[in-house]
Structure 1
Amino acid sequence: MKFRIYVFIGFLFGILPTFSQQLKLQSPNKKNRVELFSMNAGNRGEWYLKVSYNTDKNTSEILPKVHLGLSRNDQDFSKELLFLKASKSKMIKEHYELPFGKKAVRDNEANEVVVSFENPSKAKLNLIIRAYNDGITFRYEFPEKKGTYSLKDEFTAYEIPNKSMRWLEKWNPANEGLYAASSEDKLLQQEWCYPALFNSVDKSCWYLLHEADLDRNYCGTKLSNMQDVNTYKLTFPDPRDGRGTGESKPNISLPWQSPWRVITIGSLADIVESTLVEDVSTPTNFKNSDWVKPGKVSWNYWSSNHGTKDYKIVCDFTDLAVKMDWPYTLLDWEWDGMTNGGNLEDALKYIHSKGIKPLMWYNSGGDHTWVSSTPKNRMLTHENRVEEFTKLKKLGVAGVKIDFFESEKQNMIQYYLDILEDAAQFEMMVYFHGCIVPRGWSRTYPNLMTYEAVRGAEWYNNGSEFSVTAPEHNTILPFTRNVVGAMDYTPVTFTNSQFPHHTSYGHELALSVIFESPLQHLADRPEGYYELPDEAKTFLKEVPTVWDNTKLIDGYPGQEVTMARQKGDTWYIGGISASERQEKTKKIKLNFLKEGMSYRAVIITDGKHDKDFNSQVMVVDKTSAIEVKLLRRGGFVVSLNPIRN
């Protein structure tokens, strides 16, 4: 598919007032507003943004202060900034397409202003601000044409009103923690992962903090409220990350722009359906992406941690992919030590003979990781990658999974992007594990299929804790981690691994719709799928991994979520509950269906107990509603196929 990007720029007059102490910018739909203020009475000093959300009834001040500024090794750009000018408001209007994700076609609009500052030594700093219909973004710019510096600190910090509810994940380099809800009486002070979700004090809106368009010229940041419990400051990586390799402070060359600081704003539906992180990211320069082929993957690691060392297990999972009409199977770690009837070459020959495409795992290698599992170091340098990708292309391998990055320092960001660029030269799909949370790279590199960066089903192997926490965790992820990009949770497991499920079979089946990932690794052992009733088995054969449209029907983080996703004329609905005590009966309105069209609805809900299904078929249309029953920690799915006369 060729990418079509149209940018229409027009000037809007009357949006900016004459500058005295503040500047205002509104989104095209006038719901989101950002204002620029000085801490001092005049036009010199420290500056901050105020972000507000407008409803039909009132205006909610959701972020009273977003502190601004940078510090370079040569001088400061925060305390004595002189306001020089603000540009006229410019409209940004974009249309683009991606071969995967929550929406195939993206349209976004924003109003943009560039504010120019000067520090006491006459060095320039620009602040680029955009007001989108689904959020506010801003970035810093050093416009001068030459110079190389180290950034000592970034002072961007979000002041959160004390009574705001928040959902945050404690910082860890693999981004594999649990989100915890907290409010004014239970606030912890520590470092936090992206993205971070907040509910405004008056409950009128929600907002999600993240960053996007991170490139080679910066490091990944995180949030810290160590200095003030209600102020979340952007923080550079810990020097100890990646076993101490790489610099924690980024080096930059002018001219330079920071990543976008992204505040997605609106209802919970606006948050879930937003593509703002990709909207502000750099468009691809790929001429086409016809070779990018999303799909479902059989995966043997969850049920057998060392399964790829066993040729017969590899063959069993290949046969699973054949029987379930899934295009891929993954050879996870240790494929270079395969025995029990065959080696790698034998396995690849078998996989290809069945019409399945192989994906292969690699250790990212190098001194930044403690993990010694092989194959290691084959992706570490450009020369390594060219040699390995050349071999893989000849072997008919479609993509690579690369694991254990353990750092978000600038050198590691550069490593991620080097991998993606080299892989693209060989038309090789890539996905990352033990890695960074998405930063919009899939728009720039459409061969980047998915990321882990989540506490997923693998954690059933790591201890008993996930059995208890998974039901609630699963209902938080659609409002947090999965909003900002593909998420390789490796869902839909019915049998037990080392520790048991507390979720129902209906809950597990629904994760195939609830969680979005272009390469969706369905992680159960073969018998876990073979023993399903025909309706559930058919659903897992047919459910897509890429979508034309996504809608949140209802939900609340930590309690429940129901989502509808569209592919062509067919809709799929998935719903899950975290309730430990109550069964639920829900009525799902189908008013998003096409006018005048009837649909064959296949409804699969929890049955009499958590390992049982109940299925029914009915004809519905736009005026219909479907009633479904969920057990405790339960779930359901619906497929809606148009009936053509």
Structure 2
Amino acid sequence: MKIQVNFGLVAILLLMSAILQAGTVEVKSPDGNLRVTVELSEKGTLTYAVTAHNQQVLQPSQLGLVSSHGDLSRSLALVKVGKIIGVQENYTLLTGKRKNCSYRGNELTFEVRNPQNQVLQVIFRVSDDGVAYRYGLPVESVDTVRIEREQSSFHFPAGTRAWLHPHADAGTGWNATQPSYEENYYLDIPVGTPAPQQAGWSFPALFYTGRHWVLITETNVRENYCGSRLSAQSPEGEYFVTFPQPLETTSKGAAVYPTGRLPLYSPWRLIIVGSSPGTIVESTLVTDLADPAVTNDLSFVKPGQASWSWVLLKDDSTVFPVQKAFVDYAARMHWRYCLVDAFWDKQIGYDKIQELVDYARQKNVGILLWYNSAGGWNTTPLTPRDRMFDRKTRRNEFERISQMGVAGVKIDFFGGDGQSMMTYYQDILKDALEYKLLVNFHGATIPRGWNRTYPNLMTMEAVKGFEYVTFDQRNADQQPVHCTVLPFTRNAIGPMDFTPVAFSEVPNIRRITSNAFELALSILFQSGIQHFAEIPQGMAAQPAFVQQFMSSVPEVWEDIKFIDGYPGKYIVLARKGNGVWYIAGINAQDKEQQVTIDLKTIDSRAKAATVITDGETSRSFNQFETNKPVVTLNIKPNGGFVATVVGK
């Protein structure tokens, strides 16, 4: 009898045995450059570490959670390590930075148990541009379980710098509307800097280790979990995931912390990693890891631009004659929508809104209507109010305006990130989807992959947008720097309703951005519906070539390429729409920024480019054509440019 031995298989089995005995396992990205090491210590604590190109990105960082049924963060024993599984997925996204998205990663499940035999899964996914993990409580139970806290941390090496958004404490701000992610980022600060408020630091959070750029956020928050953020304290550069404050709920007694029956899975904790900040700007991991779309009917999901009166003309503009003029304005500019903001119920009324919808339809313009999210979490007086929170009332309202022909809704003033609020957001999206209504969440949380799962979610605010420039000179003074941070942070994780582009002067405010800076924001900032701030008179005063550019900005972006930039200083990127590449850049420094652009690296067919830059003054433009394959531009302080690549 002859026995054949597969020595390769024996070696693999011996290696796996060693891994299990030591409680350590590794999983790498498909290209092998990004590596996660998971370790279960002899004391029963679970950690992970991340390296990229053999350089440390995260030091050993903690894992685990504590529920009302038990502690799954210590005294853990290994149950099993699953096989590494390749995951690949392709999908279409109309409201993101890339239309046709592709994901490829390796998945590993690490399963442990506590002394009470309660099981915790930690599921890792590693792709070429990032690491993600989530927890699973896989054993079914009829009992209700509450997650008290996570032990999840991100431990950065010494010397790492950070760009962080302070999270406002719940119930603060104008009419108790915070938190709504509307602060300025703290720029280039050392890790370990305490947050200015108890709520901590918001997602997304940007870091630079000296070798790698890292963006931390979360995605795929389902109805049975809360949104989270980073801890206010981060000793020695270790940041922990923390849950919302008690006021971040829809009503007294409604869930703030994750509460429900098992099985239960947490959101993905996402770590985007790149040697260049371009990896972060270009990454689609937030939607790659989200649940697939709940519907295949995209017939009514039409991204586009919108005219909007409120941001420069305020509440008095929400009257029928002005809104009719803004419909005409949208039609002239070939924009798909017109947004009618607060007080339309009192200052226009349903009957005249119906007339406006009918008039707009003849002009191929859709009407969007504003609503207050209502509920007891804020005291805002803006109306219509109390038509969203109660489900029956909401569905009746959606049915009514859908029958009227309204295209979508903008819903404002939400109450934080508690589980009940996460449920409320998604209940709205589901009901709106049934009535084929588009949705824009304002005064709201950040995108967490929902624009993939619910294709009718066009955009979310969660940013200190242009409206703040109209409120206070300090905001206007900070705008250039603020805008150069957002492509690396907030807009990197999903559509952002900043409401950009104002050439007109702002009443009682000195706008320090140039008109070319403002023009560039039409390309730099991405939103499923882009509400432009400029009003008809201001647009009419611009050169014909600027008006033409603004009327031809693509509705759907097919691709994105980072060219150059540094958060807080300048940013240059390219987006592709309708088969054409558009390039835009802005400079927030007090000196000129020279940039060199190789058109062939953007479009191999590039023959020439049409460029619009600042003119002799900050309120004028200059347009020129170039057939050079390499273009060098000097962006003026607080200035900008746009370029259209001619590829044939």
Q: Which amino acid aligns with 1:300?
A: S
Q: How many residues align?
A: 616
Match of 2:5 in 1: none
- 1:71-98, Cα deviation, whole Å (9 max, x unpaired): 1112111111111210111100111111
Match of 1:252 in 2: 260
Question: What does 1:263-302 correspond to in 2, within 5 Å?
Answer: 263-266=271-274, 267-302=276-311
Q: Retained in 2: the 8 A contact 1:141–1:255?
A: yes
Residue from 18, 32, 37 that aligns with 1:30: 32
Q: Secondary structure at the match of 2:203?
A: coil
Distance in 2 between the 1:279 and 1:445 partners?
14
Q: Which amino acid aligns with 1:304?
A: L
State whether structure 2 residue 615 is matched by structure 1 residue 607. yes
Match of 1:168 in 2: 164
Question: What does 1:40-59 correspond to in 2, within 5 Å?
Answer: 40=41, 42=42, 44-54=43-53, 59=54
Question: What does 1:201-600 correspond to in 2, within 5 Å?
Answer: 203-226=210-233, 228=235, 230-241=237-248, 245=252, 246-266=254-274, 267-338=276-347, 343-498=352-507, 499-580=509-590, 582-595=591-604, 597-600=605-608
Q: Retained in 1: the 8 A contact 2:599–2:645?
A: no
Q: Which amino acid aligns with 2:28?
A: Q
Q: Secondary structure at the match of 1:281?
A: coil
Structure 1 unaligned spans of 5+: 1-12
Give the drift of 1:61.
0.8
Question: Could you tell which deviates more after superposition, 449-458 or 187-196?
Answer: 187-196
Match of 1:6 in 2: none
Distance in 1 between the 2:631 and 2:148 partners?
57
Q: Retained in 2: the 8 A contact 1:243–1:369?
A: no
Q: Retained in 2: the 8 A contact 1:239–1:247?
A: no
Q: Which amino acid aligns with 2:616?
A: K
**Segments ≥4 residues shifted beyond 6 Å:** 13-17
Distance in 2 between the 1:130 and 1:21 partners?
19
Q: Retained in 2: the 8 A contact 1:308–1:331?
A: no
Distance in 1 between the 2:334 and 2:234 partners?
53
Taking structure 1 as the reference length, what is the TM-score of the superposition?
A: 0.92
Q: Retained in 2: the 8 A contact 1:168–1:179?
A: yes
Give the drift of 1:99.
2.1
Distance in 2 between the 1:260 and 1:584 partners?
38
State whether structure 2 residue 130 is matched by structure 1 residue 135. yes
1:75–1:242 CA distance, 2 compared to 1 (3 A) = closer
1:380–1:225 CA distance, 2 compared to 1 (3 A) = closer
Q: Retained in 2: the 8 A contact 1:606–1:634?
A: yes
Give the drift of 1:186.
8.4
Distance in 2 between the 1:569 and 1:373 partners?
42
Match of 1:103 in 2: 98
Match of 1:628 in 2: 633
1:23–1:272 CA distance, 2 compared to 1 (3 A) = same
State whether structure 2 residue 159 is matched by structure 1 residue 157. no
- 1:85-127, Cα deviation, whole Å (9 max, x unpaired): 1011110011111123111111111111111101001111111
Percent identity, aligned pairs only? 35
Q: Retained in 1: the 8 A contact 2:160–2:191?
A: no
Q: Secondary structure at the match of 1:330?
A: strand
Question: Could you tell which deviates more after superposition, 550-559 or 495-504?
Answer: 495-504
Q: Which amino acid aligns with 2:345?
A: D
Q: Secondary structure at the match of 1:477?
A: helix
Residue from 183, 187, 212 that aligns with 2:189: 183
Q: Retained in 2: the 8 A contact 1:517–1:545?
A: no
Structure 2 unaligned spans of 5+: 1-11, 169-178
Q: Retained in 2: the 8 A contact 1:188–1:229?
A: no
Distance in 1 between the 2:103 and 2:329 partners?
41
Q: Secondary structure at the match of 2:312?
A: coil
1:185–1:362 CA distance, 2 compared to 1 (3 A) = closer
Distance in 1 between the 2:329 and 2:122 partners?
53
Q: Secondary structure at the match of 2:311?
A: coil
Give the drift of 1:216.
0.8
Cα RMSD, aligned residues only? 1.9
Q: Retained in 2: the 8 A contact 1:327–1:356?
A: yes
Give the drift of 1:314.
0.9
Q: Which amino acid aligns with 1:416?
A: Y
State whether structure 2 residue 75 is matched by structure 1 residue 71. no
Taking structure 2 as the reference length, what is the TM-score of the superposition?
A: 0.92
Q: Secondary structure at the match of 1:591?
A: helix
Answer 1 or 2: which has greater helix percent.
2
1:422–1:144 CA distance, 2 compared to 1 (3 A) = same
Give the drift of 1:287.
2.4
